[in-house]
Structure 1
């Protein structure tokens, strides 16, 4: 299974904010640090804010901070939220699959997808930044320290 770019970015933003300490990077700084377009980062940050996983303040002294909910958020829940609940394969599009009424593949792929999400459910953002990842994130980050 391949994650959407927005899912990957959401997880990386949350992980970086989890180790940010007193720094409150702006969305523009996050975009630069992650080497993604600002507009893409802004959409992801807005969705994470809507989900209550990060807080964004404007103006002097503003920036992004991870909320307690974001720190304790289930990685599986975040991935589900960004990936959506769609089937892995398109069976009933413009050209429906002739096997869709009796196909066992669709159900097997759906179960595999759910097993993938379920394996991520017990993991939190805090778990993802435990050593050695957290210190590594700080070491490779281009985000300002204040």
Structure 2
């Protein structure tokens, strides 16, 4: 399950991607449009700014803008930034691998074998779905697991 913070981050990025002509959006505008608590949104946008996804502009025409195109920002990238590793088990993480404490053998672990397929399918979807996909009726293809 993704955190509320990650969900709000994705919604804020989608709002910025929809901004007319790439014009900056004020925190208050995004918060109202997306029904995100303003104080929480401030923290999220600051985090996204530090990670190079958005920039802020001061002044009369100020606000937040995307630093990358919506096609370059994947759901997986954002989830990993906000929530950390995406894998269902620590032994399947690509960024924070850790052997499971109770595991005798990763090669023989039947639980790991099933969740490895889940992790792969999840990553395939999350790293192919972009913020641009939220802008139209296009939706990433649904991955069907065989078996």
TM-score (norm 2): 0.68
Greater RCO, 1 or 2 (C-alpha within 8 Å, sep 6+): 1
For each residue in 1:70-124, what CA deviation from the matched residue of structure 2 results, as whole angstroms up to 9, or x when unmatched? 542122222222221176469xxxxxx9955466435644652343122121222
Give secondary structure in 2 for the equivalent of 1:65: strand
Contact map agreement 1:79 1:117 (CA 8 A) in 2: no
2:121 aligned with 1:115: yes
Gaps of 5+ in 1: 91-96, 134-146
2:68 aligned with 1:64: no
Written as runs of structure 1 = structure 2, the 5 A alignment for 1:1-146 is 2-22=1-21, 23-85=23-85, 88=88, 99-101=102-104, 104-105=110-111, 108-109=114-115, 111-131=117-137
Equivalenced residue count is 127
Post-superposition offset of 1:35: 1.8
Post-superposition offset of 1:5: 0.7
Distance in 2 between residues matched to 1:20 and 1:76, nearest whole Å: 22
Distance in 2 between residues matched to 1:47 and 1:98, nearest whole Å: 32
Gaps of 5+ in 2: 91-99, 140-147
Contact map agreement 2:76 2:127 (CA 8 A) in 1: yes
Distance 1:107 1:43, change over 3 A: farther
TM-score (norm 1): 0.68
Q: Which stretches of structure 1, 4 residues or more, deviate above 6 A after TM superposition?
A: none
Distance in 1 between residues matched to 2:130 and 2:110, nearest whole Å: 33
Give secondary structure in 1 for the equivalent of 2:41: helix
